[in-house]
Amino acid sequence: MLAFVGLTGIGAFVTIAAFFTGPNPVGNWSRRNLASLFGAIIVSAVVYLVSPAIHPFFGVGYNAVGVAIVAGMLVLTLAPDLRFIALISASVAVFGLLLEQIGFFAALTGTILLSCAAEREHFRKPLGVLGLIVFMLALCWWVFILQLDIRVHLWPTF
């Protein structure tokens, strides 16, 4: 365990040092990008710690982790260079967050809606998104629920 902590510490130091020195292929670490990244980490940590006290829903299973990822990733969308990875990660987290309590259809709708935000063209033609949601709900219901018999709530359970 000591070796693990030591290696993690060295890794963290190298990662932080890499943000400020040498070639930078990950992105342009402008002030806005950096502020969004650190903001996302702080917001995630706070939401993870506070959310179970706000509503019992967040205390169940990994819901606190899910809502922390969603919140952190939404803050990260403010970083222009990390917008896509943040939105796509948030939409996957929304799926995990909604699936077991709010249901299969709501989880799919939430994931598609949020992921579509990554493509600006969808804002101009929202009918296309609506069509996509209807098509995907029908297809996934047929493939995963009817054919593959995946046991999951389709509608909200309170």
Partner 1 sequence: MQFLIENLAHGFTIAFAGQNLLFALLGAFIGTAIGVLPGIGPVATISLLLPITFGIPPETAIIMLAGIFYGAQYGGSTTAILLNLPGEVSSVVTTLEGYKMAQNGRAGAALATAAIASFLGGTVGTLLVAASGPALSAVALSFGPAEYFSLMLLGLIVASVLAQGSPIKAVGMVILGVGLGMVGTDVQTGQQRFTFGIAELSDGISFVAIAMGMFGIAEIVLNLERPEARSLLKTKVGSLWLNREEWKRGTPSAVRGTLLGSVLGILPGGGAALASFGSFMMERKMSKGRHLFGKGAIEGVAGPEAANNAASQTAFIPLLTLGIPSNAVMALMVGALIIQGIQPGPQMMVQQPDLFWGLIASMWIGNVMLLVINLPMIGLWVKLLQVPYKFLFPAILVFCCIGTYSISNNVFDVYMTIAFAVFGYICAKLQLEAAPLLIGFVLGPMMEEHLRRAMLLSRGDWFVFMERPISATMLAIGLVALIMMLLPAVRRGKDKALAE
| 57 in Cβ contact with 98 (< 8 Å) | no
38 or 84: CB nearest partner 1: 84
Q: Which of 78, 103, 136, 153 forms a contact with partner 1 (CB under 8 A)? A: 136
Tell me how far, at minimum, the Cβ of 122 lies from partner 1, in Å.
6
Kindly state whether residue 99 participates in binding partner 1, applying the rule CB under 8 A: yes
Q: Which of 47, 71, 106, 112 forms a contact with partner 1 (CB under 8 A)? A: 112
Q: How much of the chain is in helix, strand and coil states, percent to nearest 5?
A: 80, 0, 20
Token pair listed for 99: 């699936």
Kindly state whether residue 111 participates in binding partner 1, applying the rule CB under 8 A: yes
Kindly state whether residue 91 participates in binding partner 1, applying the rule CB under 8 A: yes
Phi, psi of 67 (to 5 degrees): -70, -30
Kindly state whether residue 27 participates in binding partner 1, applying the rule CB under 8 A: yes
| 114 in Cβ contact with 130 (< 8 Å) | no
Token pair listed for 44: 């995630």
Tell me how far, at minimum, the Cβ of 104 lies from partner 1, in Å.
8
Kindly state whether residue 26 participates in binding partner 1, applying the rule CB under 8 A: yes
To the nearest 10°, report the CA torsion of 72, 77, 81, 86. Answer: 60
Token pair listed for 67: 């809502």
Kindly state whether residue 96 participates in binding partner 1, applying the rule CB under 8 A: yes
| 145 in Cβ contact with 99 (< 8 Å) | no
Contact residues toward partner 1 (CB under 8 A) are 4, 25-27, 61-62, 65-66, 69, 84-85, 88-89, 91-93, 95-97, 99-100, 107-108, 111-112, 115-116, 118-119, 121-122, 128, 132, 136, 140, 143-144, 148-152
